[in-house]
A and B are shown apart, each in its own frame.
Chain A
Amino acid sequence: MRGNQKYDIIVVGGGPAGSLAAHTAAEAGISVLLLEKDPEIGCPVRCAEAIGEDVLQEFFPQDFGQHWISASIKRFKFVAPDGTEIYPRVDIRGYVLDRKHFDADLAARAAKSGAAIKTGANVTGLLFDGGKVSGVKCQIDGSETEIKGQVIIAADGVESRLGRWAGISTSVALRDMESCYQVTLGNLPVEQDMCVFYFSQTDFPGGYAWIFPKGEDRAHVGLGIAGNQIHGISPEERLNKFIERYLPGAPCLSVSIGGVPCANRPSRISGAGILLAGDAACQTNPISGGGIAGAMVGGRMAGQVAAEAVLKGNVSEKFLNRYEKMWDNRVGRNQRLYYKIKLAIQKLSDQDLNETARAIQRLPQKQQTLIKIFQTALKYKPALVLEVAKLFSPFSREA
């Protein structure tokens, strides 16, 4: 890579966390480099692409891209293991995004604010100066190069290696990693305003299966299984079985594979000269696995704190630590609670789920709220009921 080999801030990873961090820092007037290991930003998409309307409105009040939207969601359906269907009343609207365009636009906006961007750039290690992270080692076009930066923002995704190189323990416990397999199917009679969730501890242990509309006659059909409950039947094999049962013969347009950390954040998400954001910092909703909103919130915060640190000439570990406090104040405290709720939900057996669904079905439709559903489902865990009711949604505010 020719030209400048020194930046105020280096952001690693061109997903929503990385692009929001780069955008925010560049807007503050400091020099920013965004590195993406894949040859193209927004590709491949490893995501079910659902997000709440409120987060997008907060981030893009004026400049919302209509081409980011594959489908607008107004309804949900939950399907119990025995096939009992319930239609919870929800007042949350959401979208299934087109991440290919969304991610590319976020990176383009960062570039417009002054950030330099390099794709096909794989970070293979960190540089240190007196115990502080001071840059990255990077493979670009087959050759190794070193780039100096005052603050490194690690938005390197689920693999989260930069944090570990900096001495922060970011490896996710097996039980907290959802192993996911998703296909996009065509020629389907799917209702384009509804997200459908299938629950079964037998078929989707520690997770769930989903059908999310993707515009026209297409839908994302996928599932996630908790890493400690795969039991030799891979998510790919489980999804093939699911499709055979519910959507036999539908043509497959694309395949998307990946892991979702459904955990508390690591005990540290900042260090000397480094901040972690997005999946790399487990900034997801541990119940739904939704991670776009958390990545946007965390990425913007990281960019803001990093820029402040550079402008004040204080990139010490202590100064950067304010990022952790900001995250915890807005999201982290709730995240710890959601994580406990996730563990409680995973204890529900197929029989519990079936009985809950049938009990809900007997209620008048207007009483079939998320609150009522979880009051029924978690009647033996009363302290969790209200929290679950508020939080169980891929569109809940913080992820």
Chain B
Amino acid sequence: MIQVDNDRCDFCGTCVGVCPENCMNLGAAYLEIEEDICTSCSYCVLICPVKALEIYEG
């Protein structure tokens, strides 16, 4: 599963743009991942300009 570090995240939407599952919801100051749709492909983790996303077993 993917975890968002809200202190690092700038809500820029780059991860949302590469998400192949369209499972990331972005607001002006929140980013949430729909875990039942997410396949943990980790594209969002790889693309983040500031390492605000992490993949973890769970």
Contacts and interface: CB of A to CB of B under 8 A. Distances in A.
Contacts of B24: 159
A274 interface: no
B26 A159 contact: yes
Interface string B1-38: 00000000010111011111010111110000000000
Contact of A160 (B17, B49, B51): B17
A24 interface: no
B-side binding surface: helix, strand, loop or mixed? loop
A174 B51 CA distance: 16
A227 B12 contact: no
Contact of B47 (A124, A139, A174): A174
Contacts of A177: 14, 17-18, 47
A309 interface: no
A257 B50 contact: yes
Interface in A117-173: 120, 122, 124, 139, 157-161, 164-165, 171-173
Contacts of B47: 174, 177, 179, 227, 230, 259
B43 to A, nearest CB: 6
Interface string A70-103: 0000000000000000000000000000000000
A259 B12 contact: yes
A154 to B, nearest CB: 13
Nearest to A227: B47
Contacts of B20: 171
A258 B12 CA distance: 5
A-side binding surface: helix, strand, loop or mixed? mixed
A227 B42 CA distance: 12
B18 A258 contact: no
Contacts of B49: 179-181, 234-236, 257-259
Interface residues of A, number: 34
A135 to B, nearest CB: 19
B13 A158 contact: yes
B28 A257 contact: no
B19 A236 contact: no
A39 B28 contact: yes
Contact of A172 (B18, B22, B50): B18
Contacts of B26: 159, 161
Contact of B19 (A38, A171, A181): A171
A366 B18 CA distance: 43
Given A257-B10, A258-B12, A259-B17, 8 more contacts: A139-B27, A158-B13, A171-B19, A179-B47, A227-B46, A257-B50, A258-B14, A261-B17
19 contacts: A37-B28, A38-B28, A122-B28, A124-B25, A157-B13, A158-B14, A171-B17, A171-B18, A227-B18, A230-B47, A234-B51, A235-B49, A236-B51, A257-B49, A257-B50, A259-B17, A259-B47, A259-B49, A261-B17
